[in-house]
Amino acid sequence: MVLIVCIALIVYFAGLSANTSESPIDKAPHEWRITREMWLARPYNYTHTLDAFEPLMLVIFQHTVSPQCSLFKNCAAELRNLQGYFISHYDYDIPYNFLVGNDGRVYEGRGWNIEGAHTFGYNRCSIGIGFIGDYRGEIESHASVTKAQLNRTRMLLEEGVRLGHLRKDFLVIGANYLGPTASPGSILNNALKQWPNYDHKNRFYKLNCEKMEEKFGNTTLY
């Protein structure tokens, strides 16, 4: 009888310990594609679209240099913080068209066909994607790029092609190759350089949207 009681106690405390060490449950309204309504974005009235240059030939990557988030509820809160900051300090909405959380989900920022405020000189003819976190390799607490982040970003861009917002031969590049910024950081840049449609030639540097269209509008990019 004593032995049975001892075994029962061991099993009970082992189960209790396992339950307290479990990771928090990560529930989200969608497996990977989170709309503005889902992260409770504040409404914003947009006046500029990307109609003049669609389908677009360029996708520009940035990083937010803000706290990382591994759960949907934390990522949604971080987006609300970012949106509030930009509205309060710059009087415009969150600048990226889409953001990618450390939870591997894609969050709608301004969305398709809306002019962003992510890369000076290129906002009218590109899509801006911001990865949440700081991806500079020289920073001790830098974020890491995961397969889920990259895979779901590609799924988003495939959606853009399917909906007619992106050209089939669109190119991607880090913002630091187009202007004076460290964004999106060496870690994210190195991951993007493995993609077949990364613009290793940096062919859009110092070109405005009209010159990009004139030079490459009828050219196969890769």
pTM, rounded to two decimals: 0.89
Q: What is the pLDDT of residues 53-62, one digit of tens each?
A: 999 999 999 9
26 residue type, one letter? D
Write the class of the CATH domain 48-213.
alpha beta
């994607």: which residue's tokens?
129
Domain range annotation of the chain: 48-213
Q: Which of 43-47, 48-52, 93-97, 130-134 is predicted least confidently?
A: 43-47
> What is residue 24's predicted lDDT score, i.e. its pLDDT?
80
Edge-to-edge strand list for the sheet holding 98-100: 33-34, 106-108, 98-100, 127-131, 56-63, 166-174
Gap between the Cα atoms of 99 and 189, Å rounded: 16
- Calpha distance 79→102 (Å, rounded): 12
| Per-residue model confidence (pLDDT) at position 177 | 97
Query: What does 36-92 look like in DSSP terms, one character per residue?
Result: TTTTTPPP-----BSGGGPSEEEEEEEE--S----SHHHHHHHHHHHHHHHHHHHSS
Number of neighbours of residue 143 by Cβ within 10 angstroms: 22
pLDDT tens digits, 195-209: 999 999 999 999 999
pLDDT at 23: 60
Residues 6+ apart with CB under 8 A from 121: 178, 179, 208
Q: pLDDT above 70 covers what percent of the chain?
A: 90
